[in-house]
Amino acid sequence: MKLSRLLQLPLALAPLLAPVAAEHTSNWAVLVSTSRFWFNYRHLANVLSLYRTVKRLGIPDSQIILMLPDDMACNPRNAFPGTVYSNADRAVDLYGDNIEVDYRGYEVTVENFIRLLTDRVGEEMPRSKRLLTDDRSNILVYMTGHGGNEFLKFQDAEEISAFDLADAFEQMWEKKRYHEILFMIDTCQANTMYSKFYSPNIIATGSSEIDQSSYSHHADNDVGVAVIDRYTYYNLDFLETQVREPNSKKSLGDLFDSYDESKIHSHPGVRWDLFPGKEQGGRERLVMDFFGNVQNVEVDSVGNDTEWKEDLLALGKKIAELRERAEAAEVAEKNTNVPNPSVGTHTSRKIRAAKVQVDDKWWGKKAVGAWALAGCSMVWFLGTYLESS
């Protein structure tokens, strides 16, 4: 026990370091469409519209990772070759001149996506295909495609689960690859995709609840397909009409309040609980913190001040963890039968992951079976009895 008391010291120092984490110095966007094929035109149009918006608000191409699994502009079915539109008025050609697709076609896979987020890439990977973020980067992650309960399909071939995504974000956090994340997803049962997140500093929003479909907004009858989804359409609508210039002071609260369920035809969800300031803090965040760029520069203090502090923080965390584990082991030794609550969040996470459904009707089924058997034999005996008499 002496040990643990000794370890209190760095822990007490740790909170002193907290105020440093206040502002971000760079903005990144990861924009992913996960479906191919002509009839999924709208998913690519969704992503391209968002791509265009973040570029308009100041994020440079070098800080946007754009993943497009198919090439709608060059599809032979496209009545307007070389273009992609997200509105039937066809005012803006999203495919235009200035577009940099980082991952395309069959490069858009679950593996590549997770490698991108966690930066587990080979030497040969060009910088344009890497998410070169640090702990001062705000990241906008936007995904769209066909999904279901806790999964999102990639190219009809594989799917990413909510757990994969949550673990990827956790790894990013551990590797200090983000400051804050705004996660947006437009797919059927979208809100289930962020339900498993457990890493801090994430605000998540999705287009529809569990068992709810996400709908397309309208079709272009000359292109012959739906061109944009509702949720994305109304997000863009807000961004284009309310956030007109980079110094806009509109907050995320304004954005989320603009969602009109009667227009979106599904129930968009927002998750605040991972964010330090919870809902209050999250709502005050500016839209521009994620959709725009910043020019903040953080100058390293004299010497290796920050590094030292970081190390101390890490050390403190490590010690805390060790102490927790030691305590847990001790308690477990004392009473092996009683489940130990102090094992901490780690265990509870695992329990959350393993969803085994208990069959409540077990006895009922047994009874029905027994009755059926008894009935059969009764009929049998009756028949034999009647026959013999």
Partner 1 sequence: MVSLLSSSVLLRRNPLILKLPPYLSFLCIVIGVAWLLVLPLDNYSRRTYISENALLPGQVHTYFAGSDQNVFRGYKREVDALEGSGNIEVNDKLEEFFKASGLKVARQSYEYKSAGETYAGENIYAILHAPRGDATEAIVLVGAWWNMEGKLNRSGVALILTLARYFKRWSLWSKDIIFLITADSKAGPQAWVDAYHDTHQSGMVDSLPLKSGALQGAVVIDYPFDHRFQDIHIVYDGINGQLPNLDLLNTVVSISGHMGIGTSLQQMWQHSDSYRDRLQTMLRGMLNQGLGHASGPHSSFIPYHVDAITLQPFGEGWQDEMAMGRVIESTFRSLNNLLEHLHQSFFFYLLMQADRFVSIGTYLPSAMLVAVNFTIMAIFLWVKSGSPNGESSNVSLTVEAGEKKTPLAIVKEGDAKALAPEATIAVRERELFLPLAVVAGSQFLGVLPLYIFNHTPEAMLHPIFTAFTSINGFFPLILSALLTHYFAPTAHHYTLIKTFSLLLLGLFLSSLATLNFSLAFLVGLLSAPLTYMQPLPNRPIVKGVLAVLLSALSPTTVLVAGCWWWELGIGRVLKEAAFGWDVWGMTTQVVVWCVWWPAWLVGMVLLFGNPREEKVKGAGNTIETVKT
Task: List beta partners, residue 104.
Answer: 68
3/215 Cα distance (integer angstroms): 58
* Residue 381 interacts with partner 1 (CB under 8 A): yes or no: no
Minimum distance from CB of 35 to partner 1 (Å)?
10
Minimum distance from CB of 84 to partner 1 (Å)?
15
| Stretch binding partner 1 (CB under 8 A), from 71-79, 128-136, 261-269, 281-289 | 71-79
Q: How many residues bind partner 1 (CB under 8 A)?
A: 19
317/10 Cα distance (integer angstroms): 9
- List 146, 179, 265, 346, catalytic entry: 146
| Cβ proximity to partner 1, 33 vs 138, nearer residue | 33
Q: In the set 46, 63, 78, 86, which binds partner 1 (CB under 8 A)?
A: 78
Q: In the set 1, 5, 81, 356, which binds partner 1 (CB under 8 A)?
A: 81
74 is catalytic: no
* Residue 38 interacts with partner 1 (CB under 8 A): yes or no: yes
182/29 Cα distance (integer angstroms): 9
Start-to-end Cα distance in the chain = 87
- List 188, 217, 218, 265, catalytic entry: 188
* Residue 82 interacts with partner 1 (CB under 8 A): yes or no: no
Single-letter residue type at 382: L
Single-letter residue type at 202: I
| Cβ proximity to partner 1, 36 vs 179, nearer residue | 36
- Interface positions, 8-37, toward partner 1 (CB under 8 A): 37
| Cβ proximity to partner 1, 71 vs 119, nearer residue | 71
Query: What is residue 4's DSSP assignment?
Result: H
* Residue 248 interacts with partner 1 (CB under 8 A): yes or no: no
Report residue 216 CA to chain centroid gap: 21
292/248 Cα distance (integer angstroms): 10
* Residue 88 interacts with partner 1 (CB under 8 A): yes or no: no
Closest C-alpha among 131, 109, 145, 104 to residue 232: 145
What's the length of the chain? 389
* Residue 79 interacts with partner 1 (CB under 8 A): yes or no: yes
| Stretch binding partner 1 (CB under 8 A), from 72-80, 175-183, 258-266, 308-316 | 72-80
Q: In the set 76, 122, 126, 339, which binds partner 1 (CB under 8 A)?
A: 76
244/279 Cα distance (integer angstroms): 25
Closest C-alpha among 201, 205, 212 to residue 184: 205
| Cβ proximity to partner 1, 77 vs 366, nearer residue | 77
Minimum distance from CB of 70 to partner 1 (Å)?
11
Closest C-alpha among 187, 228, 240 to residue 88: 228
Task: List beta partners, residue 137.
Answer: 26
250/167 Cα distance (integer angstroms): 31
* Residue 155 interacts with partner 1 (CB under 8 A): yes or no: no
Q: How many CB atoms lie within 10 A of CB 343?
A: 16
Q: In the set 25, 75, 112, 195, which binds partner 1 (CB under 8 A)?
A: 75
Q: For partner 1, what does the binding mask look like between residues 197 and 226, x meaning CB under 8 A?
A: ----------------------x-xx-xxx
Minimum distance from CB of 73 to partner 1 (Å)?
11
| Cβ proximity to partner 1, 65 vs 227, nearer residue | 227
| Cβ proximity to partner 1, 22 vs 79, nearer residue | 79
The alpha helices in the chain, defined as continuous H runs, are: 2-13, 41-56, 110-118, 162-174, 230-241, 252-257, 261-264, 278-284, 288-291, 305-334, 345-353, 362-388
188 is catalytic: yes
Q: Which residues bind partner 1 (CB under 8 A)?
A: 37-39, 74-79, 81, 219, 221-222, 224-226, 383-384, 387
